[in-house]
């Protein structure tokens, strides 16, 4: 059973208005000796700390579609409970946390839970950290911090899942939204995005041409076949998977790591597509 998820960053909103949430502090001191117990409302680098409902934690991990093969990075990992929960699912989890007392506590908690081999932690600033090898990112940050992270997230491997507690990514529309009603009274919504492959431009498809414009995972453009151009609709990227409708036909395809595309119409013959040099 998953343990209670807590986040260090952005949780201030559960008890304070956004205008009073941010609280800058000096560089953290060395971890205190003795037993350390985090307190609700304590100051962090950017915001203060408040626990999160377990039911929302469960939903976030489910949204992330975590498997034992995944590497999950939690940005602002608090006392490590999300990372430990990930490890209990059989996956590898890593927490990045600014507060050294929290990091030390997280390591003790992981040892006590018997998952220290799969649950690791680093005392660091998330904006100065490299987490590009993660399969899943979890976070609970204020909207402006999410937007600040957005360019980094969009450069990650297509198909990377990003799951946020309560706050969105500005005009990057989520692929999935979940609202938790049971045993949750504050900040009970989670959002998920799948990092899309970059496909904007002109593609040669057989003797035709596919022109794509891209805004995050959403696409628009046209497909030209036999000298006739048809506007595409219901067009979207899901990681490396592309899907759209043109002239009443549904097309699906995959973008390969070498930036080539295979595409087929309603499960018909698969065609290769290459991006036009022009």
Please name the residue that has the structure tokens 């609280």.
23
Indicate whether 252 and 267 sit together in one domain.
Answer: yes
Nearest-CA neighbor of 210 among 151, 160, 260, 157?
A: 260
Range of the domain at 260: 201-275
- Report the distance separating Cα 83 and Cα 162, nearest Å: 15
Indicate whether 92 and 175 sit together in one domain.
Answer: yes
Out of 142, 163, 194, pick the residue that ends a domain: 194
Out of 194, 210, 229, pick the residue that ends a domain: 194
Indicate whether 164 and 245 sit together in one domain.
Answer: no
Residue 131 pLDDT: 98
Residue 38 pLDDT: 74
Domain tally, the chain: 2
Indicate whether 186 and 207 sit together in one domain.
Answer: no
Indicate whether 168 and 184 sit together in one domain.
Answer: yes
Residue 71 belongs to a domain: yes
- Report the distance separating Cα 36 and Cα 113, nearest Å: 17
How many CB atoms are closer than 10 A to CB 89? Answer: 17
Tens-digit pLDDT string for the chain (278 aa): 333 344 443 443 333 333 223 332 333 444 444 588 876 555 666 666 667 778 888 899 999 999 999 999 999 998 888 899 999 999 999 999 999 999 999 999 999 999 999 999 999 999 999 999 999 999 988 899 999 999 999 999 999 999 999 999 999 999 999 999 888 888 899 999 999 999 999 999 988 999 999 999 999 999 998 899 999 999 999 999 999 999 999 999 999 988 899 999 987 878 899 998 75
Nearest-CA neighbor of 9 among 155, 167, 156, 135?
A: 167
Indicate whether 79 and 176 sit together in one domain.
Answer: yes
Q: How far apart are the first and last CA of the chain?
A: 54
Residue 267 belongs to a domain: yes
Indicate whether 122 and 39 sit together in one domain.
Answer: yes
Residue 78 pLDDT: 85
Beta partners for residue 271, in sequence order: 263
Residue 1 belongs to a domain: no
Residue 188 belongs to a domain: yes
Indicate whether 122 and 209 sit together in one domain.
Answer: no
- Report the distance separating Cα 133 and Cα 91, nearest Å: 14
Contact between residue 271 and residue 263 where contact means Cβ atoms under 8 Å apart: yes
Q: Can you list the alpha helix ranges (DSSP code H) found in 114-206?
A: 143-154
Residue 47 pLDDT: 62
Please name the residue that has the structure tokens 């932690």.
121
Residue 16 pLDDT: 33
112-147: buried (b, 16+ CB within 10 Å) or exposed (e) per residue? ebebbebbbbebeebeeeebeebbbbbbbbbbebbb
How many CB atoms are closer than 10 A to CB 214? Answer: 18
Indicate whether 118 and 133 sit together in one domain.
Answer: yes
Out of 194, 214, 248, pick the residue that ends a domain: 194
Residue 227 belongs to a domain: yes
Residue 223 belongs to a domain: yes
Indicate whether 61 and 104 sit together in one domain.
Answer: yes
Indicate whether 186 and 261 sit together in one domain.
Answer: no
Indicate whether 176 and 206 sit together in one domain.
Answer: no
Identify the CATH number of the domain in which residue 84 sits.
3.40.50.150
Provide DSSP, 86-120.
HHHTTSEEEEEES-HHHHHHHHHHHHHHT-TTTEE
């Amino acid at each position: 059973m998953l343990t209670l998820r807590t986040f260090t960053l952005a949780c201030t909103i559960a008890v304070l208005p956004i205008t009073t949430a941010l609280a800058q502090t000096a560089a953290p001191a060395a971890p205190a000796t003795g037993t350390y117990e985090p307190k609700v409302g304590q100051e962090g680098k950017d915001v203060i700390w408040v626990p999160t409902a377990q039911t929302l934690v469960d939903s976030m991990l489910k949204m992330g579609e975590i498997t034992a093969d995944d590497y999950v990075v939690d940005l602002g990992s608090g006392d490590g409970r999300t990372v430990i929960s990930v490890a209990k699912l059989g996956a590898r989890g890593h927490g990045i946390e600014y507060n050294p007392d929290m990091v030390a506590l997280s390591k003790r908690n992981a040892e006590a839970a018997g998952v220290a081999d799969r649950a690791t932690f680093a005392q660091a600033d998330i904006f100065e950290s490299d987490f590009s090898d993660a399969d899943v990112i979890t976070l609970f940050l204020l909207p402006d911090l999410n937007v600040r992270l957005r360019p980094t997230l969009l450069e990650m491997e297509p198909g990377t899942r990003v799951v946020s507690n309560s706050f969105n990514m500005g005009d990057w529309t989520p692929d999935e939204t979940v609202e938790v009603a049971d045993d949750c009274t504050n900040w009970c919504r989670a959002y998920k995005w799948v990092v899309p492959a970059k496909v904007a431009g002109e593609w040669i498809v057989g003797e035709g041409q596919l022109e794509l414009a891209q805004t995050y995972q959403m696409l628009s453009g046209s497909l030209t076949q036999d000298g006739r151009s048809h506007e595409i609709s219901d067009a979207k990227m899901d990681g490396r998977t592309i899907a759209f409708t043109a002239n009443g036909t549904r097309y699906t395809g995959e973008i390969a790591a070498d930036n080539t595309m295979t595409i087929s119409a309603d499960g018909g013959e698969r065609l290769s597509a290459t991006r036009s040099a022009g």
